């Protein structure tokens, strides 16, 4: 079914989705599989959304969901399945094998690729997406005919009238603010450090990701493919990117990742992208107000150390799609449970991301450093410690 233009500038659909990032596009896909029609509105261009370099790791349940919904073809052909990760500190590197520990694994497959697959699938299905909109606003959330208005690129005003609205518009979109302050609660933790991330045209120097604790600061060796590597180094907040030449980044990576130790060497190559990323934890509750449902970064932000942001967005909409399908068809049980059910996983991932971040980033305090090293030694030497990390990193089942 395609959306119908009922008056010149009014569109009628079943679910209006704000935001064409991973949450919004996976939701439109899952809703279509449930026989529910949706319209997506997005401020950016299609190309811009698909080219944002962000997450790189998919957990088991995300991969299962993408495959089960016809989105696993390129992921299976081009993604790389990893059994686990390396944790290291000066002089020691340990492999945690998630498959042995939990029977679950993770995949290296960039958010850019997930987004391209989603766009291709939704195009093929005739999904209506309004790109480059302005002035997005939400209306009548307490009625059973809520709507979203926006200005199209040609300057005309458009109203999308729906049975429900999904706020999938990330941390800066208008949806979260549409939940009245009188019913909204939020929690926030700002961290005193950021990540400087680079993408480089060089084969990975490791078979699986390396998370490194070092007195100079955390470093992460990740990857995108056999020829493209992704790296992050901990830097102070508000670090001007200009202070870090490519040479300085490679030097810091070599020291923190242990170039030259036990015969391991870090290969370098041309840097194609660089950015400084601040880190914070944020949770907003409830994730539903009337006929508005929040999903993904619109409701919560995690620091990236646990690789959870994208996976959590997908887990939200896996719950939300059947909830909205039920609501549209007159059964509100899943919709009524959505916020509480989703927040259970949100808080689990919020804790795990905070825990990984706190364990691996140096604060400059020698007492903190000893506690971190003690924690790392325990995680790497105890099955209980290793399994706890593995279970959270590889991802709990959808519906946990
Ligand atoms: P988004 O991807 O933010 O999508 C929201 C969409 O809504 C956007 O396309 C936006 O343009 C649109 N929108 C906003 N306002 C409006 C409006 N008014 N009207 C219409 N549309 C609107 N996670 C990891 O796990 N690992 C990482 O390394 C990592 N790196 C990151 C780097 C950066 C710079 C950022 C910002 C995030 C990173 N994340 C990472 C987090 C991860 O990318 C997000 O959790 C994920 O993108 C969430 O998906 P989403 O669809 O909820 O939100
Ligand atoms: C990547 C990002 C992460 O935050 C992480 O924990 C692992 C990998 C990445 O961009 O590849």
Using the mean position of ligand 2's atoms as its centre, give its distance from the Cα of residue 108 in Å. Answer: 9
Using the mean position of ligand 1's atoms as its centre, give its distance from the Cα of residue 395 in Å. Answer: 20
What distance in Å separates the CA atoms of residue 301 and residue 133, rounded to the nearest whole number?
A: 24
The answer on 175 and 54 residing in a single domain is yes
Counting the structural domains of the chain, the total is 2
Instruction: Specify if 88 maps to a domain.
Output: no
Residues 230 and 197: beta-carbon distance below 8 Å: yes
The answer on 175 and 303 residing in a single domain is yes
The answer on 252 and 151 residing in a single domain is no
**What pTM was computed for the model?**
0.96
Using the mean position of ligand 1's atoms as its centre, give its distance from the Cα of residue 174 in Å. Answer: 14
Residue 221's Cβ-side half-sphere holds a number of Cα atoms within 13 Å equal to 29
The answer on 72 and 58 residing in a single domain is yes
289, 304, 338, 361: the catalytic one is: 304
Report which ligand 2 atom has the smallest distance to the Cα of 57: 8
The answer on 150 and 288 residing in a single domain is yes
Instruction: Specify if 100 maps to a domain.
Output: no
Q: Is 317 in the pocket of ligand 2 (CB under 6 A)?
A: no
Atom 4 (ligand 2): residue with closest C-alpha? 304
The answer on 64 and 205 residing in a single domain is no
Quick one: DSSP state of residue 59? Answer: E
Instruction: Specify if 96 maps to a domain.
Output: no
116 catalytic residue (yes or no): no
How much is the pLDDT for 6?
Answer: 44
Around Cβ 80, how many Cβ atoms within 10 Å?
A: 16
Instruction: Specify if 250 maps to a domain.
Output: yes
304 catalytic residue (yes or no): yes
How much is the pLDDT for 179?
Answer: 97
393 catalytic residue (yes or no): yes
The answer on 240 and 133 residing in a single domain is no
How much is the pLDDT for 396?
Answer: 86
Query: Which residues is 165 bridged to in the sheet?
Result: 16, 292
How much is the pLDDT for 7?
Answer: 47
Report which ligand 1 atom has the smallest distance to the Cα of 307: 25
Instruction: Identify the domain containing residue 53 by its residue range.
Output: 4-82+106-187+280-358
Q: Is 305 in the pocket of ligand 2 (CB under 6 A)?
A: yes
The answer on 259 and 114 residing in a single domain is no
Atom 5 (ligand 2): residue with closest C-alpha? 307
The answer on 353 and 253 residing in a single domain is no
Residue 343 sits in a domain whose CATH number is 3.50.50.60
Q: For residue 132, which phi and psi values (nearest 5 degrees)?
A: 55, 40
Using the mean position of ligand 1's atoms as its centre, give its distance from the Cα of residue 75 in Å. Answer: 20
Q: Is 199 in the pocket of ligand 2 (CB under 6 A)?
A: no
What distance in Å separates the CA atoms of residue 207 and residue 222, rounded to the nearest whole number?
A: 9
Instruction: Specify if 399 maps to a domain.
Output: no
The answer on 207 and 180 residing in a single domain is no
Instruction: Specify if 175 maps to a domain.
Output: yes
191 catalytic residue (yes or no): no
How much is the pLDDT for 142?
Answer: 97
The answer on 313 and 262 residing in a single domain is no
146 catalytic residue (yes or no): no
Residue 383 sits in a domain whose CATH number is 3.30.9.10
Quick one: DSSP state of residue 297? Answer: G
Instruction: Specify if 40 maps to a domain.
Output: yes
Three-class SS state of 347 = helix
The residues, any chain, with a CB within 8 Å of residue 325's CB and separated by 6 or more, are: 31, 34, 35, 36
Q: What is the mean pLDDT of each run of 10 residues along the chain (400 residues)?
A: 56 98 98 98 95 92 96 97 98 97 96 96 97 98 97 95 98 97 97 97 98 98 96 97 97 97 96 96 98 98 97 97 98 98 97 98 96 98 97 84
The answer on 243 and 233 residing in a single domain is yes
């Amino acid at each position: 079914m395609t959306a119908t233009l009922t008056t010149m500038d009014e569109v009628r659909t079943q679910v209006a989705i704000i935001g064409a990032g991973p949450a919004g596009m996976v939701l439109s896909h899952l809703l279509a599989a449930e026989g529910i029609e949706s319209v997506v509105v997005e401020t950016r261009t299609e190309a811009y959304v698909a080219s944002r370099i962000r997450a790189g790791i998919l957990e088991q349940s995300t991969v299962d969901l993408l495959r089960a919904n016809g989105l696993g073809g390129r992921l299976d052909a081009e993604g790389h399945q990893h059994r686990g990760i390396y944790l290291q500190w000066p002089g020691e590197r340990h492999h945690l094998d998630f498959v042995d520990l939990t029977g679950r694994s993770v995949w290296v497959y960039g958010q850019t690729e997930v987004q391209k697959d989603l766009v291709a699938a939704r195009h093929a299905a005739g999904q209506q997406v309004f790109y480059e909109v302005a002035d997005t606003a939400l209306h009548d959330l307490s009625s059973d005919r809520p709507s979203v208005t926006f200005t199209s690129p040609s300057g005309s005003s458009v109203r999308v009238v729906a049975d429900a609205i999904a706020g999938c518009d990330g941390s800066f979109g208008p949806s979260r603010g549409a939940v009245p302050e009188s019913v909204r609660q939020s929690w926030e933790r700002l961290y005193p450090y950021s990540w400087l991330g680079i993408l480089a045209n060089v084969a990975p120097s490791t078979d699986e990701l390396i998370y490194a604790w070092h007195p100079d600061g955390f470093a992460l060796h990740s990857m995108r493919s056999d020829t493209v590597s992704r790296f992050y180094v901990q830097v102070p907040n508000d670090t001007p990117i200009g202070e870090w030449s490519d040479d300085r980044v490679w030097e810091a990576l070599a020291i923190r990742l242990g170039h030259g130790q036990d015969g391991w060497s870090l290969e370098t190559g041309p840097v194609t992208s660089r950015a400084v990323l601040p880190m914070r934890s944020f949770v907003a509750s409830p994730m539903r107000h009337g006929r508005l449902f929040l999903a993904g970064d619109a409701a919560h932000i995690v620091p990236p150390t646990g690789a959870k942001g994208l996976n959590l967005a997908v887990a939200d909409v896996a719950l939300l799609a059947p909830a909205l399908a039920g609501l549209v068809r007159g059964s509100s049980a899943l919709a009524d449970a959505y916020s509480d059910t989703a927040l259970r996983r949100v808080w689990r991932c919020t804790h795990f991301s905070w825990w990984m971040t706190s364990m691996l980033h140096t604060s400059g305090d020698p007492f903190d450093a000893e506690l971190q090293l003690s924690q790392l030694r325990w995680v790497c030497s105890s099955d209980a410690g290793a399994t706890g990390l593995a279970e959270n990193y590889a991802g709990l089942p959808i519906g946990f």
